[in-house]
Structure 1
Amino acid sequence: MAEFIFWLCLLLPFYAWLGYPLLLTVAGPFFAQHKPGPLPALQVSVVVAAHNEERHIEDKLRNLLAQDAHLCTMQIIIASDGSSDRTVELARRFDDPRILVLDLPRQGKNSVLNAAVEHCTGDIVVFTDADVHWLDGTLQALLAPFADPDVGGTVGNMIIPVAGKGLSVGESLYRHYEAWLRRVETRTGCTVSADGALQALRRELYQPIPARVNDDFYINTCAPVAGKRVVYVDQAKVLDHGVDEAERQFSRRQRVTVGGLISLAARRELLNPLRHGLYAIALISHKVIRRLAPVLLLPLLLANLWLLNDHGFYRLSLAAQLLGYAIAVAGLLDVHHRLPKPFRLAAFVLVTLAGMSVGLWQFLRGHSYNQWNPDQTR
């Protein structure tokens, strides 16, 4: 029994984090590649949910207004979620008919997004955050796949161009990993994740976002529910800032895990492979097994201790686990960042896995996060 537990707890995380994307990489060439034709003229609505974003809102609006998408007419909606600073005032200073500012009471990001979409006039709705920067050509690249009528949504590529000295080193590498995973997922027609910093959806496919779910995941699943594809666009790049502090990384991963599991429960019909085929398998692999994998690390360690005298392999595997934990703890304790980057990378992995484990426990206890505060992730 101990041996079964050991190999189960070892192989499931390996499959979730590495085996699954490698299988998609091998399978990708066997899928037909879609080449959309020319993009017709579109009306596009860009929605920015903002809570106390006076530091970023002016730069964000300049950034959006500078986007040159020749074949689209743009509407920009700034939806303030009960901001108590100058977010609304600064946004309304822009004398541009394309900009609509909604000064809404504090009600949570999901409700604010629902209210904003009601004012959207575009064929395509683009969702983005106030504190991220779009590179030139991002909007045009994000819209290009919509020339294919089978495409219901697109997601962009969020990168951290300059990692900090703390855990953002690991976060930056994680962004590259996620970009690779989304590339292989989109080749097989099963892109299952998105960042709220940059995603787009056909307006007619939008479904109001329930309370407590992760807004980016729920929006991203509106297209598959309607039988449409979601395409990852590597060329649509948005720049973000990493989070160096361990407590903020832990808190964010905790909240994302809770919201993600609630979101999966809300979209549980997509987990049926008989109805949704490869997309359901991708969703189970990417969103279910990955979130369950961290809780397998403790039984993996205990089973390894039980098997210690059975074979030399188990002594090596125990040494590898203990060494990994030691490096991660050393990286966390290295507040002056004197140790090499691998220590901070290991610390990021440990904090991420711990946050996911606590998030799973909170989900099982019925806990949720109803209010959204951007400062929690900065």
Structure 2
Amino acid sequence: MAAILVTVFWLALAVLFYAYAGFTLLVMAWARLQRRRVLQAPITPRLSLIIPVWNEEKTIAGRLDNALALDYPKSALEIIVASDGSDDGTEAMVARYVGQGVRLLALPRRGKLHAIREAVACATGELLVFSDANSMYQTEALRKLARNFADPQVGGVCGNQIYLKAGRHADTTNQGEHLYWSFDKWLKQQESLTGSIVSAHGAIYAIRRTLYRHPASAAVTDDFAISTAVIEQGYRLVFEREAVAYEEPAPAAAREFSRKVRIMTRGLRGVLLRRKLLNPLRHGFYAVTLFSHKVVRRLVPVFLLLLFGASLALATHHDFYAAAAMGQALFYALAGLGYGLRQRRSGRLKLFYIPFFYCLANAAALVALAKVLRGDRIERWQPQRQIATSDVQIT
């Protein structure tokens, strides 16, 4: 029995090492070997900026003001707001901008992907740019996205999402989220050099109109499904660091947990939808990055439980395993303290918020995995905003 537990311990440790260090080192090494650059040129093709919304009366005015102020030829830009059955003042707010080159699609409540499909159907742009309702673009963001499409091998471009500092709104979850996105941005730069990044995020990304393929399922994350369709058709999906979109930080932990569960559940279903991309014989290194990023990382909580369980069971057999069990117990205790401090709003030390955010994310991944295995489907969306776009400052 002890031999089995030892095997479980080292297997779990090996998987965790690969998920957090091995995969990163592998991407770095492959990026150095490939160094696949993008041919860029200052082009300004016609763009359709698509903003799907649901009950965004607090954010949509700021978003549209920002979109209309972007440095891009007005004759080459159309802005489409697709309202997915909003029942607050969103549609009335958007209607005020119609005379300024904004189009409003007032649709019945059928989900975000349906709203996107309707917007794409009436879009006239050569390029489709997708944005969240609370994303605030830097002035030259559209030009920075567009210049990459001078390369005929590029089918999609993901911009650089940056979380704004939220001041008094921030909590331990925000701090951990910021650290994660800083690492994710760096990893995207490396992945882009290997050929393609894994997928885009909804704040700011663009694809060629001819490459848009509507997802066969509504129970997936739209940004993942739409952007990976580009790769499935043989084109590159690259990262543009200088195309910046600012967003508010994540909501408080209670709402953030449910948000992560929803996103991860839909994300796993997205991988099932695009499972052909997991074939390394056809998609090469991208298949490895997709599997590592979207599958192995979602299995991390399972291996964390196996590692902790094996450590506890072996603690009486050897001091090494006893120390391993104590180290893990201490880490989870710090996460618990981080949660308690967040509840009292009495501290945001990295010593506490990193373990707390890590445990929050992995607990959400475990629940998401269970939901997918159970066959649960999440097809509708409900954005959770913490502050209005008019309350934030872009610097």
How high is the TM-score relative to the length of structure 2? 0.92
Aligned equivalents of 2:64, 2:53: Cα separation in 1:
12
Distance 1:268 1:239 in 2: 31
2:222 aligned with 1:219, yes or no?
Answer: no
Aligned to 1:177: 183
User: Structure 1 residue 369: deviation in Å?
Assistant: 1.1
Q: Which runs of 5+ in 2 are unaligned?
A: 388-395
Q: Is the 8 A contact 1:167 1:348 kept in 2?
A: yes
Consecutive aligned runs of 4 or more in structure 1 exceeding 4 Å deviation: none
Partner Cα separation in structure 1 for residue 44 and residue 196 of structure 2: 27
CA contact (8 A) 1:69 1:140 kept: yes
SS at match of 1:130: coil
* Between 15-24 and 119-128, the greater mean CA deviation after superposition: 15-24
% same residue? 38
Amino acid paired to 1:187:
L
Match of 2:173 among 167, 170, 173: 167
- C-alpha displacement of 1:51: 0.5
In structure 2, what residue type is equivalent to 1:112?
A
User: Does residue 293 of structure 1 match 2:296?
Assistant: no
1:138 partnered with 2:141: yes
- The 2-side partners of 1:322 and 1:37 are apart by 50
Supply the RMSD in Å over aligned alpha carbons. Answer: 1.7
1:322 and 1:35 map into 2 onto residues whose CA distance is 46
Q: Which amino acid aligns with 1:30?
A: L
By how many angstroms is 1:233 displaced?
0.9
> Per the alignment, in what secondary structure is the counterpart of residue 42 of structure 1?
coil
For 1:350, the aligned partner's letter is: C
8 Å Cα contact 2:138-2:244 kept in structure 1:
yes
Q: Does 1:87 align with 2:94?
A: no
Q: Does residue 1:258 correspond to 2:265, yes or no? A: yes
1:312 maps onto 2:319 in alignment: yes
2:207 maps to 1:201:
yes
Distance 1:62-1:244 versus aligned 2 partners, 3 A rule: closer
CA displacement at 1:267 relative to structure 2 = 0.7
* Unmatched tracts of structure 1, length 5 or more: none
Q: Report the Cα offset of residue 337 of structure 1.
A: 3.0
Distance 1:21-1:303 versus aligned 2 partners, 3 A rule: same
SS of residue matched to 2:265: helix
Q: Label 1:54 to 1:343 Cα distance change in 2 as closer, same or farther (>3 A).
A: same
Q: What letter is aligned with 1:118?
A: A
TM-superposed CA distance for 1:241, in Å, is: 1.5
Q: Closer, same or farther in 2 for the Cα pair 1:79/1:95, shift >3 Å?
A: closer
* Counterpart position of 2:68: 65
Please give the alpha-carbon distance, in whole angstroms, between the structure 2 residues aligned to 1:251 and 1:95: 35
Deviations 1:58-79 (A, max 9, x none): 1111101111135971010000
CA distance in 2: counterparts of 1:77 and 1:376, whole angstroms: 21
TM-superposed CA distance for 1:102, in Å, is 0.4
Segment drifting more, 137-146 vs 46-55: 137-146
The answer to whether structure 1 residue 118 and structure 2 residue 121 are counterparts is yes
Task: Please give the per-residue CA displacement for 1:234-274, whole angstroms capped at 9, x wherever unaligned.
Answer: 11111112225222121111111110111111111101111
Q: Are 1:13 and 1:294, in contact at CA under 8 Å, matched by a contact in 2?
A: no
- Give the distance between the partners of 2:98 and 2:358, measured in 1 at CA: 46
Match of 2:161 among 158, 162, 165: 158
For 1:1-378, what aligned pairs fall within 5 Å after superposition? 1-69=4-72, 73-96=76-99, 98-163=101-166, 164-209=170-215, 210-334=217-341, 335-339=343-347, 340-375=349-384
Q: CA deviation at 1:225?
A: 0.7
Render the CA deviation track for 1:161-203: whole Å, top value 9, x for unaligned: 3151331111111110110111111111130122111111100
> Are the counterparts in 1 of residues 176 and 353 from structure 2 also a CA contact under 8 Å?
yes
Q: SS in structure 2 opposite 1:370?
A: coil
Distance 2:162 2:251 in 1: 15
Cα distance between partner residues in 2 of 1:88 and 1:268: 38
